[in-house]
Structure 1
């Protein structure tokens, strides 16, 4: 007899989370909806995480384990998606946990070409206390791409997180959508932005069955490498262009001028303040940045005299002078 395919594939990257992993997996096993598979991807853990994963897979036929050398969460998620067979995909972090109705809540509201978004509870590390219910939208839906600008303007209500959303696997496969493993922070947000361009509706429900634990000293509090920051900003810029293509109203253009400018200023600061590149490499990055921003110059609106100088030098390709000025600013700040 052919084994029935799972409705939902849950993908959980695992990296040195043995302290929390059992609670996470057990919360999935306890779901009120049973037609799921759990894909655990061990990303080169050095603790007991792999042994825990294997033990659960031996006890449950619908739990699969895959291992890879430490390549990061994006590569782990891509491996999970490659081996998933469910109609839908969910992503659960290995140091969080879910309430028993997490999956069924998605399925009660899902429909073709739509994404369902749950609220979620944010919990402080070592404190079993809800800090906030993060979403603001409950039992409301938006049409895409028409309402996309509204969603982004109220960004705190949607978030780039994956764990409170459900995805159609066929849409992902047919559009070759993967996580960019060279982006080490914000990779989930970029994936979410690209997925929004494939669907026609975004639905918010009032349930909050995901428990997101914000831990001290977590990876999300650390700076990413400059190359990652650079690629992240460029991907966001592509998304902003997509939104403006669908709505170029004056208010919308003004809003995204600020977005483009923030990204631009962030990259400039990152080159000088967060990187340890020698001058020659910084100049090369500025040249690369100039090429990547060629379609975005019209949206760069400096709000101070110093930024106007930076923008002018950048547009004029006076990269060495710009670099010298930025380095000088850094020295003054550090005095």
Structure 2
């Protein structure tokens, strides 16, 4: 059986679509656990209505404690051998999960199966791959630790709880839970541990999930000072903890590189129009030691700028590059829309 754990918080306009996308999948044995995390809209009513209609849909109701606590609560109640986590404003692509179920039936020992995710935006019809995977066939003969190293090395790793189906026993035996005091970037700690504990992993080279961006109130939409501080402190703590993990030395170096790259990427998000700009600047500057662990072709130029000219110049170059990338994407979207428009 597959258990779908769905943390729910004020997603009334999207919740039914999420649930229906599971119900309409062509899979044999599953349950849906809806964890209402103190919603103040009609989300709980929607959850209860589905639970009344379907015997394999269950509702857990709790005070608002954050998505990590909601996922942990759902995991503890899950009856399935395998668990999918999905946010309640996202949805599965039609008939995309049958491949996962068939793969599980053929590979009884697999711990983790991940696939491809498509992003879409509330304000337009544009869809975009979250990660462009290449040369992934070899992953199917790797352990989770080896796969993680390869994905980090080739700059195609995605550490997201919704990107994979996970054996529940793996999580319980290794005491892998979401840290409930973290409400931003909580996936990083969780999924790194999942990969390192997995003995057998598989990759399905197909899109299966539609991931919504730019929803009002979305946890990942706006990085305020509190969330940024939470994320940076997590990166700092993880980078120091990884040396004590029971993994190979080269794996530790790859994980440090990934964590440092997350920090480095956040430099480009600063905006002088932000009222919290100077506090964020000081926070990021305080942890600039992380830059020495960064790696990969995406960061070669800006790491050079940092080593030669210092932190401020590095941050400025990151912001310029991000603006260029943003405008290029706008032009790309406009061109695609023109190409799709019917000819007069």
Gaps of 5+ in 1: 1-6, 308-335
Q: Which residue of 1 aligns with 2:22?
A: 28
Q: TM-score, normalised by structure 2?
A: 0.70
Number of residue equivalences: 285
In terms of mean alpha carbon deviation, does 174-183 or 41-50 score higher?
A: 174-183
Measure, in 2, the Cα distance between the counterparts of 1:261 and 1:45: 34
Say whether the 8 Å CA contact 2:31–2:80 is kept in structure 1.
yes
1:137-182 deviation line (CA, Å, top 9, x unaligned)? 4762422334532221234x33112222100001111111110122
Match 2:279 to one of 265, 274, 280: 274
Match 1:228 to one of 211, 222, 230: 230
Shift of 1:68: 0.9
Match 2:131 to one of 131, 134, 137: 134
Shift of 1:222: 1.7
Extract structure 1 runs of 4+ deviating beyond 4 A.
Answer: 242-245, 252-267, 269-272, 296-302, 304-307
What pairs up with 1:182-331 in 2 under 5 angstroms?
Answer: 182-217=181-216, 218-223=218-223, 225=226, 227-238=229-240, 241=243, 246-248=248-250, 256=256, 260=260, 263=263, 273-274=278-279, 303-304=307-308, 306=310
User: How large is the RMSD of aligned CA atoms in angstroms?
Assistant: 3.8
Distance 1:32 1:152, change over 3 A: same
Could you say what secondary structure the match of 1:166 adopts?
Answer: strand
Could you say what secondary structure the match of 1:207 adopts?
Answer: strand
Say whether the 8 Å CA contact 1:124–1:213 is kept in structure 2.
yes
Say whether the 8 Å CA contact 1:31–1:101 is kept in structure 2.
yes
Q: Does 1:50 align with 2:48?
A: no
Distance 1:245 1:169, change over 3 A: closer
Q: TM-score, normalised by structure 1?
A: 0.72
Structure with higher Rg: it is 1
Shift of 1:102: 3.2
What pairs up with 1:148-187 in 2 under 5 angstroms?
Answer: 148-155=148-155, 157-187=156-186
Measure, in 2, the Cα distance between the counterparts of 1:185 and 1:235: 14
Distance 1:59 1:197, change over 3 A: same
Distance 1:123 1:254, change over 3 A: closer
1:202-232 deviation line (CA, Å, top 9, x unaligned)? 3221211211111244321222525512442
Shift of 1:50: 0.2
Gaps of 5+ in 2: 271-275, 295-302, 312-344
Shift of 1:88: 0.1
Measure, in 1, the Cα distance between the counterparts of 2:291 and 2:134: 34
Could you say what secondary structure the match of 1:205 adopts?
Answer: strand
Measure, in 2, the Cα distance between the counterparts of 1:163 and 1:138: 22
In terms of mean alpha carbon deviation, does 231-240 or 199-208 score higher?
A: 231-240
Say whether the 8 Å CA contact 1:159–1:189 is kept in structure 2.
no
